[in-house]
Each structure stands twice: as C-alpha cells, then as structure tokens.
C-alpha cells in the first residue's frame, strides 16, 4: 500500500515537472548562421521597443550562434559595413547567411522562423536610399524626388506579409522620414517661404507623445522642428536686442513652446548639453535647467551637474586643462606646454566628423594668415592610419596631433560631448574662450587680430 502511494506521488511529481517545463515562458530568441567578412554583429534594439542591445562575436570561419533575451520587436544589426533591420520574437530561432561585402548586391539568405517578416526588413535595408538634402535646389523637384522614394516604400509595405499593425507602423515611419527630409531640404536650400503644398504636409501634430516614444523618424522630426523654431525666434529677437542668445534662452524657449511635458523633457535632454557649452551665463543657464526640466533621467541630470562643474572651472583667465604625449603627424609626441609662447587656437576634430570637413578650407586660410597664432589640431577617438591619410589627402596645415585613445581627461575637463569644438588660449595657457567661434565665423578673425597685437 505504501509502495503504491509512493509510486503515485512520484508520478504526480514528474507530471507536475513536465507540465511546468512545457508551460515555462521562454524569453529569448536563438540566432545563428554564417556572415563572411565581419568580426561581430551588434544588435541594436529599435527605437521605442525598450529591448536591450546585444553584441555577438563571429568565429574566424564566419559562423556564430547566440541567444538574445528579448520581447517581440525590431532590431537593427550592424556588421561593420551594413545596418540591417531584423525582427525577433522570444522562443523563436533565426538563421542568416550572407557576405557583408556584397549585402547591397546579393542580400541575405534567411531560414528559421518569421522569414516573411524579415524578408521585408532585410530587403528594405538592402534597398535603403541615402538622401542628400543639398543635391537638388528646387523645392518642387525635391518634393517629387522624395515622393517617388516614399511611393516605392509604401508599395513594398503593402506587398509585404507583415501584420496589419506592423504595416501601419512602417507607413508612419516612412511618412515621418519624408517630412524630416523635407524640412532638412528647406533648411539647406534656405527657403523662407515654402509652397502651400509643403506647408500643408508639414501641418501635423508636433506634440504626439505616443509617436514620439514609438517612432525614431518622428522623434528626429520633432527635434528638427523645434530647433528651427528656436533659430527663427533668435533672428526676430536679435532685431530687438543684438545681445540675445538662443543658446542661453533655449531651455526656457522649449518649455514655453512645447505643450507636451514628455516631449519637452526629451528636447531638453537631447539638446541641453550642446546649448550649455555656448551659454555665456552658466549659473543662469543651470538654474533654467533645474526649473524647466521635470524628467527623472538621473544619468542626464548628473551629466548636467558634471558639465556645470567643469565649465565653471573654464572661465576666462583660468589655467587650461593639460594633455600629454599626443602623437605628432611629423614624428614624436607633444604636450600642451610645448606650444606655449604664442596664443593658441585649438581645433578638436576627427576623420569621422562630417561637419569638421566643412571648416577645413577656412582653417587653412587662417593658419596661413595668422603666423602669430599657434594652430593646434587634435584628432579625437580616431584611427592613426585614417588620420594620416586624411591629413595627406586634404593637405592639412598647422600642428596635427592624435589624441591618446586611452586617456580622455583633456576632453572630459573641457566638457567635450561632440565635435568640432574650438578653444582659444593665451600665450601662457590661460583660457580666453573654451567654446570659441569656428574658422568660418567672421567673429573669429576679430578675436585673432586682437591676439596677434
């Protein structure tokens, strides 16, 4: 009797275990395959999904296999050459095979689950059009160009086997990307009075919190829209008060113009660090930040405090932070002290910085004109072979240094979050301007003329 009871207990126990195993929720996807000419795949969770990023190493023969803990959603993975959309679901398995060098020509071979979904996302990535907003000068011609691209994209969405929800998501992203490119064109073409058709298309809700959280192109569109409004406001205000500074007033402006609190906080967190470095009254700006930012991003709040602390140490007349043993293009290494004795104009740049190239011509001319000034060009987070190649090809002049990639203290002390960035020091290494005008800015010549005397 006891034996029978014991057997029943054991059977019940195993049935329970099997039931639990069968109903256990699997919260990861398995991805494997073979990718040639790539060392790793970086899976970046798409905007608004709240999934985590994942780095997957690739073996020498191109094979790989790994798990990604994920909720259902879109990722964009990068192989070092291509950014490719890919849809994942937990408990599913995905197999991809392709050559990173020929992805744009040959695409990807897919196996496993959700092939129909990923046929759309990988094909869209393969056929991605990179739009240059400066390539066309006429508004109607550019609108026609954008509409041709948009219509092809919408047709691909309609012909796909995505769910209706995903189809609508993709259509919204296409729409917002179209509007973003249109506004960017108007900016570069310097069109002050767009056509009625353009104005009608741009007459959308710029306070849609749901879409701001969900769609990357809408978030970018919002940032560009309110940044343009700030620039227009600055032009009007300078007719009244020539000392008005959009950078100084930016946080108050965003708080006044943007009715949605979440979007307002997003605009502030995306742009406050940049405006901070250009503000003249640091204390007032930091007080504005504490008044107008009502979000809870502690990392951002701490970054603002750190920057405020750093910038207040960089006031005119204070001693500049130092760097040591930066590699010189002409051989050997240099520290900041090696260049004292003349006023110094420092250009922080990189070969991967698109905006930096736009200032090269003006910088060359200044270097030739102002022999009394030491022009010091420091490449940041750069690769030596690329750095040397660009200097040679562009025939760059002045002192060319490569920053130590393992010691960023000089940049951190100057609160450098983006480049290009320009700094002016006097001949003794005292700060004149920690955020100086760019080489193409007419104000810079006025400053340099005063320094050379």
C-alpha of 387 from chain center: 21
198 CB-near residues (< 8 Å, 6+ apart): 139, 143, 182, 186
CATH H superfamily, domain 28-116:
Carboxypeptidase-like, regulatory domain (2.60.40.1120)
Residue 323 · residue 335 · CB < 8 Å: yes
pLDDT in tens, the chain (453 residues): 555 555 554 555 555 555 454 556 789 999 999 999 999 999 999 888 889 999 999 999 999 999 999 999 999 999 999 999 999 999 999 999 999 999 999 999 999 999 999 999 999 999 999 898 888 989 999 999 999 999 999 999 999 999 999 999 999 999 999 999 999 999 888 898 999 999 999 999 999 999 999 999 999 999 999 999 999 999 999 999 989 999 999 999 999 999 999 999 999 999 999 899 889 899 999 999 999 999 999 999 999 998 898 888 888 899 999 999 999 999 999 999 999 999 999 999 999 998 898 899 999 999 999 999 999 999 999 999 999 999 999 999 999 999 987 888 899 888 887 899 999 999 999 999 988 999 998 889 999 999 987
The pLDDT score that the predictor gives to residue 65 is 97
Q: Does domain 326-452 have CATH number 3.40.30.10?
A: yes
Whose tokens are 């060319």? That residue is 400
pTM, two decimals, is: 0.74
Q: What is the pLDDT of residue 204?
A: 96
């Amino acid at each position: 009797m006891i034996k029978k009871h014991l057997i029943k207990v054991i059977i019940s126990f195993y049935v329970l275990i099997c039931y639990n195993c069968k109903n256990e929720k699997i919260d990861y996807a398995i991805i494997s395959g073979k990718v040639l000419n790539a060392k790793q795949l970086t899976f970046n969770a798409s905007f608004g999904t709240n999934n985590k990023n994942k780095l997957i190493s690739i073996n020498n023969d191109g094979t790989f296999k790994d798990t990604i803990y994920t909720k259902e959603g879109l990722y964009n993975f990068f192989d070092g050459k291509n950014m490719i959309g890919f849809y994942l679901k937990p408990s599913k398995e995905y197999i991809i095979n392709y050559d990173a060098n020929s992805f744009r020509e040959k695409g990807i071979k897919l196996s496993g689950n959700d092939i129909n979904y990923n046929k759309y996302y990988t094909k869209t990535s393969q056929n991605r059009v990179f739009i240059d907003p400066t390539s066309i000068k006429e508004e109607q011609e550019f609108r026609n160009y954008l509409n041709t691209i948009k219509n092809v994209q919408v047709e691909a969405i309609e012909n796909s086997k995505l769910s209706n929800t995903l189809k609508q998501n993709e259509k919204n992203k296409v729409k917002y990307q179209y509007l973003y490119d249109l506004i960017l064109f108007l900016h570069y073409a310097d069109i002050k009075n767009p056509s009625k058709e353009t104005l009608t298309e741009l007459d959308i809700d710029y306070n849609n919190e749901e879409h701001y959280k969900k769609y990357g192109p809408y978030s970018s569109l919002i940032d560009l829209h309110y940044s343009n409004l700030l620039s227009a406001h600055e032009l009007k205000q300078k007719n009244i008060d020539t000392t008005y500074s959009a950078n100084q007033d930016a946080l108050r402006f965003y708080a006044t113009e943007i009715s949605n609190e979440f979007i307002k906080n997003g605009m502030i967190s995306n742009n406050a660090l940049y405006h901070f470095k250009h503000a003249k009254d640091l204390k007032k700006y930091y007080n504005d930040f504490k008044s107008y930012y009502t979000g809870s991003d502690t990392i951002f709040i701490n970054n603002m405090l750190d920057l405020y602390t750093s910038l207040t140490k960089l006031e005119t007349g204070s001693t500049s932070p130092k760097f040591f043993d930066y590699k010189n293009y002409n051989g050997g290494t240099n520290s900041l002290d090696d260049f004292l004795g003349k006023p110094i104009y420092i250009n922080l740049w990189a070969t991967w910085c698109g905006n930096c190239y736009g200032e090269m011509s003006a910088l060359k001319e200044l270097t030739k004109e102002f022999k009394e000034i030491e022009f010091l060009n420091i490449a940041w987070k750069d690769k030596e072979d690329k750095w040397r190649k660009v200097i040679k090809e562009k025939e760059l002049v002045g002192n060319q240094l490569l920053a130590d990639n393992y010691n960023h203290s000089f940049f951190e002390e100057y609160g450098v979050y983006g480049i290009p960035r320009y700094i002016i020091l006097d001949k003794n290494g005292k700060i004149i301007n920690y955020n100086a005008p760019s080489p193409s800015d007419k104000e810079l010549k006025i400053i340099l003329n005063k320094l050379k005397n």
